Structure 1
Amino acid sequence: MAFRTPEDEDTDESIVTLRGPVLTAAEEQKKWLQEALIAVDRKGGIMRNSIEAKENIIVVIRAAAQMLDELRTNLLEPQNYYELYMRVFSMMETFMEYLEDEYRAKRHTLEEMYERVQFCGYIVPRLYLLIAAGAVYIKDGDHPALDIARDLVEMCKGVQHPTRGLFLRHFLLTMMKGKLPGDPNRLASDVRNGATEDGGTVTDTANLLVQNFKEMNWLWIRMEAGSYANRNGGSTNSVTAGSPTTAVLPAPSPPPTVSIAASSWSPDTGTHPGAPLGLPQRSLRAARRTQQERRAMCVLVGINVVRVAQLDGISRDVYANTILPHLLSIMVRYCEPLAQQYLFEVLIQVFPDEFHLFTIDKLFGAITRTVSGVEVTELLRSLMERLCKYAMAVQDGVADVSSPEEEAKLRDLFPMLLTQLSGMPISYKTHMLTNTVIKRTSSVPPPTPMMLGAYVTTMRHLVDVAMALYGRSTKRRFMSLSNIIDVAAAKFSASTADPSEAMNGAEAATAAAVSTAASISPAAALAAGQFLVHVITGCCATVQEVMAMEGIATLTSCLPFLQRREVAIAVCEVALRGSTAAPVLPSVSKAASSGAGSGGLKSAAVVTAPPPLSRPITTLEDVARLFELLDPFLVEQPDAPSDLGLIYRYNPIVEFVEEQNLVCRILHLLSNDDPAVYTKMLTGARKALLQGGARRIPLTYPTLMTLHRRAALRLYAQYQRAASSNSKSDEGERDGDDAATAAASQAMKAVRKCFSHMHSGDSKGILEVFAVEAPVEALKEYLRCSNTADVCEQPETSYELYVAALTLYEGHVEDTREQIDSLVACVNSIYQMRHMAEENYEVLAARICQYASKMLKKRDQSYLIAICAALFAKKQLSRESQERVQECLRRSLKLAGQVLALAQLELYVQLLNIFLRFFTPKSGYLVSVELVNELIEKISETSEVQRSEVSGDGNRSAVDNEERDKAANTFANIRLFYRNITKYIRSRQSVEERWNEIDV
């Protein structure tokens, strides 16, 4: 393919031509790697041949150096460079064996070989050869290992290219393994009493490894700049003519057997929060690629910390006073988030639990000084879980403590963790600005404020620790959870404070109440809501424990509506699920298994038995806090989103009703043996529910009225016990009589007060408020309350409530079906009255009959007047009133004769069913047999007429046939109803003589 510019069309200048396909980046990497591997194999073969031919040592060293030249490449990505490194590493094992054989055969001294390898021209091959010779030198055991290792560490500073330098230093670590003081399985120079035969100590080895770690960490961080790479073919180092150009980027795992836990960082599609240096000049794709390459190189750096942790003979004091401060200083002064995240994770994982226990303050202090972009929450969770597992292992006898001091620290582990977390600086901003400049500071940086949401998430992990440690002790569990929530609530409360304004206490409280939710970032609010739900549902055994934690209400009040609603749901769940001897303990997330043991924290106890009935709420303080937490269910919230789809998942109407059902179920948990206290609880509930408005009152007030009726019946039962005690007392026990009389009077006064709350007469009573929102339902509630008042021997109150019900009927019941249902309910209610005066009873009965006679349809009039006959069938009424039963039934039969067609037959059958209710010995046979037989005769006549109409002649249209089929089905149902009635009559005729007078 040729490319020609317009200016070149008429000239004789040469044209640049590209022949063959253009390779992709992956294909180029594969090609370069294969070329490098072929070169290594070829040059390594020359080296082997030279060794086998017993060539001069200079020839062998030159062949090894030419093979090592391939590691100077500047083109391969980390995984490919690692593969090349491994091939070279296997060749270098042969070279080291050659050096050992030469020394044993005494053909060359170690000093001579160590000097000969230094004549190599390029620094990368020369240092690899020096390290190999130094390893043989140290292995001899007659020379100072630490001095040689220090020289090699210093000489490695000559390679400042990040990839080449990291692999070079990793090669040094691999070669020095098992050869330095304190290394496990060290042969000739094992540590004796803290010192070695060559004068070094394990502390010197640790310091040397820390120094190498410092250099490798800076090389690793410098990869972020990306200025060292030239993937288009150039190189920062000169390369021999016959070797491929390669050099850049990291390799995943080290070749030896040492391994460490993988970093929690997983490759993602975006760049790390700590943006790379020079990001405006580099593409996003390049930045993402660099991040992935650096993650692949992390193990090379972390292996230094692993080697330090594996040293034998390091005491707790040496670690706390020497090693840890050096490591933490390196980690916090090299301000790059990926490095800090991974290295802190390695530090937490590899060192013993005992060391962490005695250095909690140093670890927390260093973690808080990491740059923004580091997942501080994950680091603290890993540390806390590891210490918690250690404490639980000691409690269970699996692990032993080394001193009383350690035992005391384990006993106070939770207070120490809480103290450290409570003193952490907090940022209340919506998001944390990330510094895009990667730097190395000369001093320890100041603490970085932790985002409020991340802080609350950390406190949630502390809750899991508390549950694991104190799950078996109810008191200690409650105290630890209360302390955690109080600290979290204090942090959230501080976010609403405005230090720029000086206000008095009342003004400050008002301002905080107005701006609380608005000042919390969405992430912090979400984390706090999840934190509270976790504590309430996962850690609290009963709702009483939830109410006892004052911090829950304080923290909840700082949250926006959606989170307050979630907390309210959690409180209802705990209150309604029942109580147990211990809570259902939480299980730590799967990501929490970064400690020494396997898996996350385990609960101290697990509840498997089904919970018993819900525990009642018995104190006024608990009720007050309960309604405070349930406020999102009770009142329209000003900060609630207007889009109901943000609040409810599926059907807003159905889910809203379910919310109110939860409130009603909670109301049934209110209880107290003292009726006066119980009445106060209901008064508080009434005030809370009154603020619910037109949407909530129709759903919640029926339950509230039921509870008031129940309270009135309890008070009346108390009155009856007091009156019974008074009647049974002897005449000489005047003091007892007075006390019983006073108790009875007090109970009856409380009964009256209870009914005054339901119907006060000033439009503020429960029934009156309910009637404004739902008049039809309120009518039936009035009737129920009237019956309850009658049971409680309050005839005047009963009459007043009944009159109010009829007033509602007159003013608000307009639908015919509702009118029928309401009048039937009125008849059923008044029929149950026992203490109402006959005059008042007759007045109410007359009004009901009037309403029945004023129905629009004759059919409804006939049916309801027959129903009203029951009003005059009570034995307590006079004989004159009872005679009105026959009058009502006769009038209903007369009205039924004016109904047309099929409806008349159905009405006749219904009337027969009603008539037979009064033809019993218990009712006194208030209906005459003549009237019953007359009705049966009308049914027979009407039935014959209807049968002929529904049978038809068959010459009708399709519409007529459909109507006829419908009428036939209705007729069949009516006849079935009638046959059932006649069967009942025949069954009665067999046992009662008077029923034989009925002709069926």
Structure 2
Amino acid sequence: MAYSPSLETALAVVKHQSMQTEKCLAKKQLMDALKHCSIMLAELRNPKLKPKQYYELYSMVFDSLSNLSLYLVENHPRFHHLADLYELVQYAGNIVPRLYLMITVGTSYLQCQDSPREEILKDMIEMCQGVQNPIRGLFLRYYLSQTCKELLPADDPEFNCHFIIMNFIEMNKLWVRLQHQGPLREREQRTKERKELQILIGSQLVRLSQIVDDDWQLYKDRVLPNLLEQIVQCRDLVCQEYLLDILFQVFPDNFHLKSLKVLLKALSRLVPDVSIDTLLETLIDRLNGYVERKQLEGSASDSDDILKDKDLFQIFATFINKLNEERPDLPLQRFIGLIESLLNLSLKWYSDSYENLNKCFSLAVTKYNEYDKTIPSEFEYLFLDLLTLKKIKSFNERDLDLDSSFYFQLITQCESYRQLILIQKLPLQKTIINKLLDILITGFSSTDVKNFPQIESKAQLQNLLAICEPIIKLKERKTIPATKRHSATLKDFTKNSNINNNGNDNNDVDADTEDEDSDLIDEDTEMWMLNSSQEKITKFCHSLILSLSQSSTMKSVETQMESISIIRTLLLKGGKNIKYTFPAMITNYWRLIRRAHRLKAYLKTNTQYYDNLIKKTFKSISRCMNDLFNQCGNTFLDSIYKLNLQSASLADQLSLPEIAYDFFTQAFTVYEESLSDSKTQFQALVFMSQTLQKTRSLYKDSYYDSLIVRCTLHGSKLLKRQDQCRAIYLCSHLWWATEITSIGEEEGVTHDFHRDGKRVLECLQRSLRAADSIMDNIQSCELMIEILNRCLYYFIHGDESKTFITVKYINGLIELIKTNLKTLRLDKEEEENNMDSTDAQERRLTTYAFGQDGSCIHLSNLKGIPSTVSNKITSTNIADMIDIPAQNFERTCGYVIKQTEIDDRFKVIVI
């Protein structure tokens, strides 16, 4: 029998012959119907049809044969006997139509009660061996499987399993043989076609699982050995991957648990290119599903008793370790996939066993070391995913708070996890550590105490800190200066467009230069990255110390101080980076000092112990200051200065004058040796005077007197006269202490204030001399008004006999200011009268900007400043400048007049 040359013609023939068959069957003309069926079935002999085309043709044939089978069953034995017909169809001229007709008649006969079932089934499956063409044989046996699906003996599962397995084995052989037909260049195309046919093979295992059901013994003795033997022996990549995946999916999970070692042994015998990690992941997912199912059921089963003494994790770990030894060529991505599957298993079955997790990461460390740190950069993502547990399904289903608690335990308990992080390349280390810090900081800031990670030992603390070391240390990198960024960008452009006259690339010309500059980064980018990492480290250290206060074993003040010292020692490795992190350590030292002081006052016992502890902590603060100075030098002087003053203030509040004096001395040392800018010096003295004025314990042993004299002396040595003036009159307050309500002081009740009116007067007189010596009359007059305001302050807050700021002195100062203002007005009138129109116009356009301290600057020097700043600057001409001190003086005089209504002493002040 011939077949059609194309699919379209074949479909038309099948459709026509099917209609003719139905007509003959309607007329009870069975022989004619079988003849038309043979012609129709001959189309399945076409070797040129692709799998999809053949399946389309097969589907149409199957529908027609189903109608024939229905007719045969309905008319047996009245019009024909199926036993005779079964013998008759075997005389068909071609083997493909013959076997299809034989199976159709045979399966129809199986539906009859008097049929010899087993003999017919055996005969059909043996006869199918006559077709060895891969595609034709596959579909023939698939047809046999479909038609016999519901006709196997219900009371003989062993026979049924044997029948399905035999059919499966032959189908698998045909499927594998398909790979080796045709030229080598079409190998990929054949692999694609084979995958289109894999559902035919998989259907046999699905049917087999339905027959086995929950019969473990049948599965163990007859099914599994035959399936694994066929899968392993076929030595085909596509076959082994697909069939093992189907096997893991369709059979019960408790069967896999009981036969685990057999399955793993089979996995180890697969061809090298098999995705063994994917198969293991599928198997472990099934086993994890068993746990979830049992948790939902809330009951035990027979398999629980079997697995009671079985260490599932150890079985898999041993398998992976042995596989690595036997298969050193196993690709890295496959091996990492195996470890991720093992982690999944451990987290599901042994959620509290961090020892198992440590073993998993130990395997990864071993594999990494085998590569001798020559792992290509394109595979770094494998370790990033592994260390951040990106693909761990059991873990990602947890809540965020549990994530942080889990990572906390993972880092502190798993040495191999920390080791695996620290052997990665530095950029990858930083990426991983930053992700971990984000998670941990989130956990430490959690309000849920149950999920709050708690540090219970110094070892845990050190383990947490160990992973931070790569981003703590200062890494010298080449940066592109701001002045060279444009040229660097231009260089990149010319490099990318470097084409010679012949149209060829000249990229090799600057190859050496490109390699040399490959690590160059922008200065701003480098600084941003550095600040971000150090900020994160600082937050993390704060979180660690916060965790210590919640710990049941580490919450004592002494233990926390030792822990901060451990952190400080590690942070010191950061070199200049400590300017970002050490202030956090110092503030935490301050907090613990206050806590120790409160405990001392509350317990009222063992006070000497707490005194020694506080002094020891202040020494640690001092060492931090020294480290900051030695490492950072001039780049951090202002902060070092202020930290010393704040530490001095704290020591004073705790009545520790010696310690407070030492910190003030260190601050003065920084000022004298390192602060050279005049503006910085002035601001530093202002901060110093503010801090000193609030001290109380320094009154003893003349500490206070020596410090305030030193502060005033430095003020008198400032470079600018206006700075000298302001610094000295501000220092006058150091000799006139005022009440601090937070410590219970009250004016008129507290009598031990440090007050010396003579010194106050001396300071004001010295500042007045400095103001009078300034050549700029406008600025000189403005400073005198500021001094007048200070005099009025002392006049209000003290008796003349104590402050020595008498009415006579105030009136004399007012008269001096009036004289100066009068001179300024005369100068203004004379200047305006002498100016011609052009000159006057130019002078009116001459504008100045005034600062809060009274200083001014010509606006022509402010070109290029941001508009947001320039819009806020008060601009005025010279005439208006002269009016400013006059207006300030009028406001002061108005205040004095108002005070006369309240205080009679102000009536004698002459305005």
Alignment of 1:491 with 2:369, yes or no, is no
Q: Does 1:147 align with 2:141?
A: no
Q: CA deviation at 1:387?
A: 3.4
1:900–1:462: structure 2 CA closer, same or farther, 3 Å change rule?
farther
TM superposition shift of 1:652: 1.9
Q: Of 869, 879, 882, which aligns to 2:732?
A: 869
Q: Deviations over 1:737-766 (max 9, x none)?
A: xxx5xx3333333333323333369x9656
After superposition, the CA RMSD in angstroms is 4.5
Verify: 1:656 aligned to 2:533, yes or no.
yes
The correspondence for 1:204, drawn from 122, 146, 159, is 159
Is 1:956 the counterpart of 2:836? The answer is: no
* Matches of 1:156 and 1:974, distance apart in 2: 117
Would you say 1:224 and 2:179 are equivalent positions?
A: yes
Deviation, 1:308, is: 0.7
1:127 touches 1:156 (CA, 8 Å); kept in 2?
yes
Distance 2:179 2:525 in 1: 46
Amino acid at match of 2:357: I
Aligned to 2:482: none
Q: Is 1:850 aligned with 2:713?
A: yes
Query: Does the 8 A contact of 1:783 with 1:829 survive in 2?
Result: yes
Q: From 18, 25, 29, give the equivalent of 1:44.
A: 18
Q: Which runs of 5+ in 2 are unaligned?
A: 479-517, 739-750, 849-858, 860-872
**Judging changes above 3 Å, is the alpha-carbon distance between structure 1 residues 966 and 707 closer, same or farther for their aligned structure 2 residues?**
closer
Identity of aligned residues (%): 23
Structure having the larger proportion of residues in helix? 2
Aligned-pair CA distance for 1:813: 1.6
Tell me the alpha carbon deviations over residues 375-420 of structure 1, each in whole angstroms, 9 at most, x when there is no partner: 434433333333333333333337x65x5x324357678x424532
- Residue 778 to residue 101, structure 1, CA distance change in 2 (3 Å): same
Q: 1:878 to 1:65 in 2, by over 3 A?
A: closer
CA distance in 1, matches of 2:696, 2:891: 34
From the superposition, tell whether residues 323 and 943 of structure 1 become closer, same or farther in structure 2 (CA, over 3 Å): farther
Contact 1:886 1:928 in 2 (8 A): no
| Aligned residues of 1:345 and 1:379 also touching (Cα < 8 A) | yes
Q: Is the 8 A contact 2:761 2:803 kept in 1?
A: no
Give the 3 Å change call, closer, same or farther, for CA 407–914 of structure 1 in structure 2: farther
Corresponding residue for 2:100? 128
**Matches of 2:566 and 2:818, distance apart in 1:** 62
Q: Is the 8 A contact 2:473 2:575 kept in 1?
A: yes
Distance 1:894 1:906 in 2: 13
Contact 2:45 2:96 survives alignment (8 Å): yes
Cα displacement string for residues 583-621 of structure 1 (whole angstroms, at most 9, x for unaligned residues): 9xxxxxxxxxxxxxxxxxxxxxxxxx9668966645322
Specify whether residues 350 and 547 from structure 1 end up closer, same or farther in structure 2 by C-alpha distance, changes over 3 A only. closer
1:620 to 447, 455, 458: 458
2:794 is equivalent to residue 918 of structure 1: yes
- The structure-2 alpha-carbon separation of the partners of 1:163 and 1:805, relative to structure 1 and needing over 3 Å to count, comes to same
Per-residue deviation at 1:629? 2.6
Match of 2:70, SS state, is helix
Cα distance between partner residues in 2 of 1:797 and 1:560: 46
Q: Is the 8 A contact 2:545 2:564 kept in 1?
A: no
How many Å apart are 1:822 and its aligned residue?
A: 1.4
Q: Which amino acid aligns with 1:423?
A: F
C-alpha displacement at 1:792, in angstroms?
3.9
**Is this contact kept in 2: 1:767–1:782, CA < 8 A?**
no
Pair 1:42–1:792, CA change in 2 (3 A): same
Taking CA–CA contacts closer than 8 Å with sequence separation of 6 or more, which of the two structures ends up with the larger relative contact order?
A: 1
Conserved? CA contact 1:165–1:219, under 8 Å: yes
Task: Give the whole-Å Cα distance in 1 for the aligned partners of 2:782 and 2:324.
Answer: 75
Structure 2 length normalisation: TM-score? 0.77
Give the drift of 1:973: 10
CA contact (8 A) 1:517 1:558 kept: no
Q: Does 1:362 find its partner at 2:262?
A: yes
Aligned to 2:46: 73
When residues 450 and 383 of structure 1 are mapped into structure 2, their CA distance, relative to the original with a 3 A threshold, is same
Tell me which of 670, 682, 686 is aligned to 2:564.
Answer: 682
SS at match of 1:311: helix
Structure 2 counterpart of 1:111, from 62, 83, 94: 83
Is the contact between residue 866 and residue 892 of structure 1 (CA under 8 Å) also seen in structure 2? yes
Q: Which residue of 2 aligns with 1:406?
A: 303
Asked if the contact 2:402–2:451 (Cα under 8 Å) also holds between the matched residues in 1, the reply is: no
Match of 1:550 in 2: 414
Cα distance in 2 for partners of 1:820, 1:31 equals: 102
Shift of 1:843: 3.1
Written as runs of structure 1 = structure 2, the 5 A alignment for 1:831-980 is 831-836=693-698, 837=700, 839-874=702-737, 881-897=756-772, 898=774, 900=776, 907=783, 911=787, 914-915=790-791, 917-921=793-797, 927-928=805-806, 934=813, 937=818, 956=841, 960=845, 966-968=874-876
How many residues align structurally? 806
- SS of structure 2 residue aligned to 1:425: helix
The alpha carbon displacement at 1:796 in A equals 3.0
Mapped contact 2:571–2:582 kept (Cα < 8 A): yes
Give the CA deviation at 1:176: 0.7
Distance 1:460 1:312, change over 3 A: closer
Shift of 1:929: 5.0
Q: Could you tell me how far apart the structure 2 residues matched to 1:321 and 1:980 are? A: 108
**Cross-structure match for 2:582:** 701
Alignment of 1:299-338 (within 5 A): 299-311=199-211, 315-338=215-238
Distance apart, 1:64 and its partner CA: 1.2
TM-score norm. by structure 1 comes to: 0.70
Q: Distance in 1 between matches of 2:90 and 2:656?
A: 114
Q: How many Å apart are 1:947 and its aligned residue?
A: 10
Matching residue of 1:349:
249
- Where do residues 237-386 of structure 1 align in structure 2 (5 Å cutoff)? 281-282=184-185, 286-311=186-211, 315-386=215-286
One-letter identity of the residue aligned with 2:260: I
- Kept in 2, the 8 Å contact 1:859–1:899? The answer is no
Aligned counterpart in structure 1 of residue 136 of structure 2, from 164, 183, 193:
164
Pair 1:758-2:635 in alignment = no
The verdict on how the C-alpha distance between 1:515 and 1:64 changes in structure 2, with shifts beyond 3 A counting, is closer
Give the C-alpha shift of residue 773 in structure 1: 5.9
Unaligned runs of 5+ residues in structure 1 are 1-29, 182-189, 192-200, 228-277, 435-447, 467-475, 499-511, 584-608, 726-739
Q: Which amino acid aligns with 2:470?
A: P
Deviations 1:223-274 (A, max 9, x none): 33351xxxxxxxxxxxxxxxxxxxxxxxxxxxxxxxxxxxxxxxxxxxxxxx
Question: Which one of the candidate residues 438, 441, 445 is aligned to 1:576?
Answer: 441
Kept in 2: contact 1:542–1:578 (CA 8 A) = no
After superposition, the C-alpha distances for 1:689-728 in whole angstroms (9 at most, x for unaligned) are 111111x110011111222233344444555567xx4xxx
Deviation sequence 1:561-583 (CA, Å, 0-9, x none):
45544554455445433579xx9
Cα deviation, residue 91, structure 1: 1.7
Shift of 1:635: 2.4
Structure 2 counterparts to residues 352-751 of structure 1, below 5 A: 352-397=252-297, 403=301, 405-409=302-306, 415-425=311-321, 451-466=334-349, 477-478=351-352, 480=353, 482-495=354-367, 522=380, 524-531=382-389, 538-539=402-403, 541=405, 545-546=409-410, 548-551=412-415, 552-562=417-427, 564-566=429-431, 568-569=433-434, 571-573=436-438, 575-578=440-443, 617=455, 619-636=457-474, 651-669=528-546, 670-671=548-549, 672-694=554-576, 696-717=577-598, 725=604, 743-751=606-614
Give, as a single letter, the amino acid of the residue that structure 2 aligns with 1:872: W
Q: CA deviation at 1:304?
A: 0.1
Letter in 2 for 1:61: L
Please say if residues 701 and 770 of structure 1, whose CA atoms lie closer than 8 Å, have aligned partners that are also in contact: no
Amino acid paired to 1:223: L
1:575 and 1:614 in contact (8 A); partners too = no
Q: Distance in 1 between matches of 2:764 and 2:843?
A: 41
Q: Counterpart in 2 of 1:184?
A: none
Residues 984/667 of structure 1: CA separation in 2 closer, same or farther (3 Å cut)? farther
Contact 1:529/1:559 (8 A) holds in 2: no
| In 2, Cα distance between equivalents of 1:338 and 1:612 | 49
**Alpha-carbon offset, residue 540 of structure 1:** 5.3
Partner of 1:604: none
* SS of residue matched to 2:405: coil
* Offset at residue 975 of structure 1 (A): 9.7
**Aligned with residue 93 of structure 1, among 66, 74, 96:** 66
Residue 813 of structure 1 is matched in structure 2 by 675
Cα distance, 1:354–1:995 mapped onto 2, change above 3 Å:
farther
